[in-house]
Amino acid sequence: MPNALDQFLEPIIDDIAANKFVLILGPDLYANYIDGKIWNRTEYFKKIEADNKGSFFADNDELFSTNKDNYLSIAGKVKDYYNTDSDIKLLELIASIRFSLIINTSPDISLENFLRPREPNAAFEYFEGEIDKKKNLICDIEHPVIYNVFGRVDKRQSLIINHEEMFKHLTLLLPKDSFPLAINETIRKAGSFLFLGFKFDSWKYQILSYKILDINEGRDQQNNIRLSSTMYSLENPVNIIMTAAAGIKFRNESPAQLLEGIIKKARIVGNMANIFRNIEKKKQYFTYLSYSHQNENCPNLQVMVDIFLDSIDKENQKNQNGDIIDTIYDKRDLQYGQSIDSFMTRIGTGKIAVLIVSDKYLKSVYCMTEALRVYKYNNEDQRVFIILIEDRLMLANEENGKMVIDENGYKIHWKNLYAEQARKSKREDKVRLENYFEISEFIDDFIRKIDDYKSFRICDADYNEGENTINKLSTTKEFEFIKFMDALVSKVKED
């Protein structure tokens, strides 16, 4: 019996094959690697704001308020961000499918750079105003179009930095016939749209979605499917607006999971060879390691971190063919204030998340926020692994006498934290308060589902006293950990 995701994907696959599908790439799709760090767009732009006195970055507008003195500096830094390498695994997934039309809402051209040598018939265009009406394009599987609607990084005059530039751009963009004829026709006949990397908090993306749907005014509402991966719950006000007004149906899968789902489902359906493009995959693998750094009361936690990192190093050393697994963990790789979303929204082939769960982890707002993000992007493809540090956990007796984690005790802990925050919070702390409430509602379910993940359990008795970190595990536990790591390595390298 097909699952819910399969049922969503079936009409999408049919529409791709029939040139009746539009992929729309959002601004949150890629996190870029700059100076050895992972930066999501908002955090990097806030850094630009901090480095340029007198400037202001409006989060929801995604635009800067600038003066003449710092405009060129800001524009240069924005270009630097979009000129860096994007996520190769996501690029491979997108390029593997012959989408007839891809609308790109950021000035990023990494997809163009990736596709250009691999697809000689592709057209790479960007919105330029009145002249777009005269552009003569073909838009189908054999002649795909990648269309940037908000400028492109290599065309300085097209970059949109401030509100004045955006206002002028939207004045030209909003008329129904402003796109090239072939793009308008593809949108008009489209049966399905897939939005990836959107949160729809920004008004300009809401406006763009309405424009696209307005062009597609003759659509059959029953058959027209619009999906968007989102880190917010469906109770989020913006999601409610976009669901009611635009008919968008939200999914919790990450962009990578949705794209992988399309590929897997199309191969099962058969007779769909024409929608695939042969892409030689780059061997690039990542593990995201999430754990509490407040480990003064749990010294074995750091030992476990060291054992895990050492095991990854050993795996890399024995690979003679250049297969390297890079490990990302927040204290070293993520800038302060970033969440796991920079990694989790892109989790899929070539990537896994490893959570080292301890008592401190279950009581840390930062760690539990990461766990919440992992949970929201679900684990159907089993790319989440857990190492459970059993010492110092709050435990409870089950009826059969077996000791288990006291999920109710942790729930009460978070309910109390939420109540304390509610008493202290000011109006501007609303997001923080909502985060505490969401964790308090999630914690017991997360604990119950720990066994659903591939897990390895460790306690004080499983360590050899006086041994160094590498030889710390007892013989029995070392054997179990080797099996755990073998499963982990196999999954991260799985196509």
Question: Position 436: which residue type?
Answer: Y
**pLDDT-based confidence at 22, cuts 50/70/90?**
very high
C-alpha dihedral (146, 149, 151, 152), degrees to nearest 10: -20
pLDDT at 447: 92
pLDDT at 337: 43
What are the structure tokens assigned to 2, written together? 């097909």
Q: How far is CA 200 from the centre of its chain?
A: 15
Which helix (H) or strand (E) covers residue 257, if one does? helix 255-269
Please name which of 40, 26, 433 lies closest in space to residue 248, comparing C-alpha atoms. Answer: 26
> Do residues 261 and 97 touch, judged by C-beta distance below 8 A?
no
**pLDDT-based confidence at 481, cuts 50/70/90?**
very high
Question: Over 80: is that where the pLDDT of 490 sits?
Answer: yes
Question: Over 80: is that where the pLDDT of 488 sits?
Answer: yes
Burial (Cβ within 10 Å: 0-12, 13-18, ≥19) of residue 46 = middle
pLDDT at 302: 82
Question: Position 274: which residue type?
Answer: N
pTM listed for this prediction:
0.84
Burial (Cβ within 10 Å: 0-12, 13-18, ≥19) of residue 337 = exposed
What are the structure tokens assigned to 385, written together? 């692994």
Q: Is 442 or 467 the better-scoring residue by pLDDT?
A: 442
pLDDT at 469: 64
d(CA 375, CA 67) in angstroms, rounded, equals 43
What are the structure tokens assigned to 298, written together? 């749990």
Query: Of the ranges 280-284, 349-353, 427-431, which one carries the lowest mean pLDDT score?
Result: 427-431
Q: What is the DSSP string of 358-424?
A: -HHHHH-HHHHHHHHHHHHT--TT--EEEEEE-TT--EEE-TTS-EEE-HHHHHHHHHHHHHHHHHH
pLDDT at 435: 81
Question: Over 70: is that where the pLDDT of 255 sits?
Answer: yes
Q: Is 49 or 269 the better-scoring residue by pLDDT?
A: 49
d(CA 421, CA 59) in angstroms, rounded, equals 24
pLDDT at 340: 60
**pLDDT-based confidence at 411, cuts 50/70/90?**
very high
Q: What is the DSSP string of 214-250?
A: HHTTT--TTT-EEEEE-SS-TTSHHHHHHHHHH--EE
Please name which of 62, 26, 372 lies closest in space to residue 227, comparing C-alpha atoms. Answer: 26
Look at the block and give the residue holding tokens 């780059």. 282
**pLDDT-based confidence at 6, cuts 50/70/90?**
confident
Q: What is the mean pLDDT of residues 384-412?
A: 83
Question: Over 50: is that where the pLDDT of 336 sits?
Answer: no
Please name which of 365, 367, 366 lies closest in space to residue 357, comparing C-alpha atoms. Answer: 367
Q: What is the mean pLDDT of residues 212-223?
A: 68
Mean pLDDT of the chain: 84
> Which residues have CB under 8 Å from 39's CB, separation 6+?
31, 32, 33, 47, 81, 335, 338, 342
Burial (Cβ within 10 Å: 0-12, 13-18, ≥19) of residue 87 = buried
Question: Over 60: is that where the pLDDT of 397 sits?
Answer: yes
Please name which of 452, 459, 460, 414 lies closest in space to residue 433, comparing C-alpha atoms. Answer: 414
Question: In terms of residues, how long is the chain?
Answer: 495
Instruction: Classify the phi-psi angles of 151: left when phi > 0, otherwise alpha if psi is within -120 to 50, otherwise beta.
Output: left
